[in-house]
């Protein structure tokens, strides 16, 4: 399915009605065709505001949740951003529109391969996809201006808190995987971290170690 005008309009309408107001975020989401990140049977539902299944038993997040998380992250053009949970690559592609450089990590080698191929095909050159356990962050590339986690942990992982620059922002879902989770925004200050609760959400769990595909 092509990302035609009507599909775009419907998606932007859904995003706005869910509270996505930031013009740059809306523009990025109009630019990135979600249909390219969803395969097979589900591709015809790519422009609906719902999560959809992807390979390896994972999900591509609901567009309005992607929009709200991206908005809360307040990405700046010169930022170096880490995403934990590449999945389909959709969220990373949106971050790539807003930031200078994006590193995205996934524990499933198959998802990593597919996302790399897709970014190459779509000519998205400022995203690096890495296979690994993202709960440890990426010590080689740290510190980051922004960190976005798209899988739920019980608490914010310590290495990620430590890899955030002073003044940096991290947005992540926290809570038990089968119970209510909350999206939180963490800001690193000179002498610690400030926490703000945004809304209830539901994400797949952040698991330790690499997956064997």
Determine which one of 2, 17, 43, 61 is catalytic.
61
CB 118 within 8 A of CB 90: no
Determine the Cα–Cα distance for residues 62 and 39; give it in Å rounded to an integer: 15
CB 106 within 8 A of CB 128: no
Note if 2 is an active site residue: no
Phi, psi at 42, each rounded to 5°: -85, -10
Residue 206 binds ligand SAH (CB under 6 A): yes
The interface with ligand SAH within residues 4-63 (CB under 6 A) comprises: 58-61
Task: Point out which span in 28-36, 100-108, 120-128, 193-201 binds ligand SAH (CB under 6 A).
Answer: 100-108
Place of tokens 């399915």: 1
Place of tokens 């999900």: 59
Residue 124 binds ligand SAH (CB under 6 A): no
Residue 111 binds ligand SAH (CB under 6 A): yes
- Size of residue set near ligand SAH by CB under 6 A: 24
Residue 84 binds ligand SAH (CB under 6 A): yes
**Cβ 165 to ligand SAH shortest distance, Å:** 21
Determine the Cα–Cα distance for residues 53 and 64; give it in Å rounded to an integer: 16
Determine the Cα–Cα distance for residues 179 and 9; give it in Å rounded to an integer: 33
Query: Using CB under 6 A as the criterion, which residues of the chain lie in contact with ligand SAH when the complex forms?
Result: 58-61, 84-85, 87-88, 90-91, 105-108, 111, 133-135, 150-151, 204, 206-208
């Amino acid at each position: 399915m092509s990302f035609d005008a009507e599909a775009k309009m419907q998606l932007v309408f859904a995003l706005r009605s869910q509270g996505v107001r930031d013009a740059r975020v809306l523009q990025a989401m109009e630019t990135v065709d979600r249909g390219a990140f969803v395969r097979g049977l589900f591709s015809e539902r790519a422009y609906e505001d719902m999560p959809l299944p992807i390979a390896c038993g994972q999900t591509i997040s609901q567009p309005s949740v992607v929009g709200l998380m991206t908005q809360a992250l307040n990405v700046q053009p010169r930022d170096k951003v880490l995403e934990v949970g590449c999945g389909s690559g959709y969220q990373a592609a949106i971050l790539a529109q807003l930031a200078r450089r994006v590193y995205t990590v996934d524990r499933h080698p198959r998802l990593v391969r597919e996302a790399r191929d897709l970014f190459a095909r779509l000519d998205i050159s400022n995203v690096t996809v890495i296979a690994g356990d993202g709960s440890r962050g990426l010590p080689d590339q740290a510190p980051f201006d922004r960190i976005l986690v798209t899988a739920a942990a019980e608490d914010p992982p310590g290495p990620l808190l430590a890899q955030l620059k002073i003044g940096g922002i991290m947005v992540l879902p926290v809570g038990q995987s089968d119970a209510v989770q909350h999206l939180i925004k963490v800001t690193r200050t000179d002498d610690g971290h400030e926490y703000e609760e945004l809304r209830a959400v539901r994400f797949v769990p952040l698991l330790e170690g690499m997956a064997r595909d």
